[in-house]
Amino acid sequence: MIENDVKLDLGHPTNQSRTLLTDLVFPPDTNHHNTIFGGKVMAYVDKIACISAMRHCRKPVVTASSDSFDFLAPIKTGDAINLEAYVTCAHRTSMEVFVKVERENLLTGEKQLTARAFLTMLAIDEDGKPTEVPRVIPETEVEKQQYVQAQERYIERKNKRK
């Protein structure tokens, strides 16, 4: 029998961590090609990954690594930048966050995938030490597939550190 004051946390669904962010790209955000600075996109990705991970674990987090960061197409002045992030998998103290970046032409409605990234976020306690996080409960077929792939990337990351 479970006492009333004991919380049994079986994990959180992927959707709980889903985070969306949209911003307009202005000239100061761009380079001499009138496309957004790659570093600016990377800052957006890191920020939204942080928010997503914190929504999952409800604890402070830090960025531990970026597995991959693929720039696929430019985002131009006047476009909207749309980002979507969610936790794909959680381990004892770390979480993998997937971030998708799209450009949107606000005049035509045309959207295009421009970047994607996988980041590892580490939950920390008030002393800055790693702390445990809830597991992820994937619900959709895409989430389940990403969950399995995240396990494979986790093993690759561990082997790379050795």
pLDDT at 99: 97
pLDDT tens string 102-146: 999 999 999 999 999 999 999 999 999 999 999 999 999 999 999
pLDDT in tens, 82-93: 999 999 999 999
CA distance between the termini of the chain: 43
**Rounded mean pLDDT of 47-74?**
95
Q: Which domains does the chain have, with CATH numbers?
A: 12-161 (3.10.129.10)
Mean per-residue pLDDT of the chain: 92
Residue 29 has pLDDT above 70, yes or no: yes
Residue entry with tokens 């996988």: 118
Task: For residue 89, give the nearest of 145, 20, 29 by alpha carbon.
Answer: 145
What is the pLDDT, as a whole number, of residue 6?
A: 44
Structural contact between residues 94 and 54, judged by C-beta atoms closer than 8 angstroms: no
Q: Which residues pair with 120 in a beta bridge?
A: 65, 96
Query: How many C-beta neighbours within 10 Å does residue 36 have?
Result: 24
Confidence band of 2 (pLDDT split at 50, 70, 90): very low
Q: How many CB atoms lie within 10 A of CB 144?
A: 13
Task: Provide the H-helix boundaries in 33-107.
Answer: 38-57
The pLDDT value given to residue 9: 64
Q: Give the pTM.
A: 0.89
**How do beta strands 94-104 and 111-123 pair?**
antiparallel
Whole-angstrom Cα distance, residue 147 to residue 132?
A: 18
CA atoms of 57 and 160, how far apart (whole Å): 26
The residue among 67, 64, 126, 70 whose CA lies nearest residue 92 is 64
In the DSSP assignment, the letter for residue 54 is H
